Amino acid sequence: MTPTANGTQRAARDPWDIGFGVVVLAFALISLLVWFPNDIRGGFIVTNQVGKPEPGDAFFPVILASLMGGLAACQILFAVFRPRPEAQGSRITADNFKFLAGFCLVVGGGLAVMYWLGPILVATLNDAGVLDKTYRQLTDAYPYKLIGYVVGGFLMTMALIARAEGRIRPIGISTTVLVIAALIFILDVLLYNIQLPPNADY
């Protein structure tokens, strides 16, 4: 915040916020307009051998770059039109490293659950005589293909929201469930030839 003549402080635009948004937006635009058209041979949506449309080589890179560009544009707009109070002090402290370590722990733990829960559950059910198939054989079968993605994704997302808000709220739980359900609908229903993570690795 910038001091005024009467001793009060006002919010100031953060050049770092604006600069970060500009760099990411420039990268997204260069990717969409220059890099992808000249480097990716496949289209956004292609027709397979049986005449059905499916995502092409450019599908996920274009989606990712578009999302990055949109978020970067929002970052710039918020930084310009909604200045925030300046952070007190600019040194890196032990709290910064604690925050980073906690973030990495949450994300790493969520990804580990996402990757290993399904195979571990299937192996346990095999040992108990309930199943006689490997997880590789069940990567496209309900509910096994969803178990790791749903549980790991929910735990990771909910933990990050709770960490940011300092508590667990019903709105955070419902938002997490809706996001995961929407991603499953997009990746597992609309894009029928795409496997949910981590099923493609098995």
What percentage of the chain exceeds 90 in pLDDT? 17
Each residue's pLDDT tens digit, 140-169: 788 888 898 899 999 999 998 888 888 888
Closest by CA to 14, choosing from 25, 6, 22, 5, is: 22
In the predicted structure, residue 57 carries a pLDDT above the cut 90: no
Amino acid at residue number 51: G
* pLDDT tens, position by position, 8-48: 445 556 677 788 889 999 999 998 898 888 877 777 777 77
pLDDT of residue 7: 45
The overall average pLDDT reported for the chain is: 81
Considering only residues 82 and 3, tell me which one the structure prediction assigns the higher pLDDT: 82
Tell me how crowded residue 46 is: count the other CB atoms within 10 A of its CB: 14
Q: Which of 173, 159, 161, 53 is nearest to 181 (CA)?
A: 173
**Residue 8: predicted pLDDT:** 45
Among the listed ranges 91-95, 133-137, 180-184, 192-196, which one has the minimum average pLDDT value? 192-196
Give the pLDDT confidence score for residue 113 in this predicted structure: 92
Q: Specify the higher pLDDT residue, 121 or 186.
A: 121
Average confidence (pLDDT) over 66-89? 78
Q: d(Cα 135, Cα 115) in Å, to the nearest integer?
A: 12
Write the pLDDT tens digit of every residue in 93-139: 788 788 888 889 999 999 999 888 988 888 898 888 888 888 888 88
User: What are the backbone angles phi and psi of residue 21, rounded to the nearest 5°?
Assistant: -60, -40
Handedness of CA 171, 173, 176, 178 (dihedral sign): negative
In this predicted structure, what is the pLDDT of residue 166? 85
The whole-number average pLDDT for the span 182-191 is: 79
Give the pLDDT of residue 1.
47
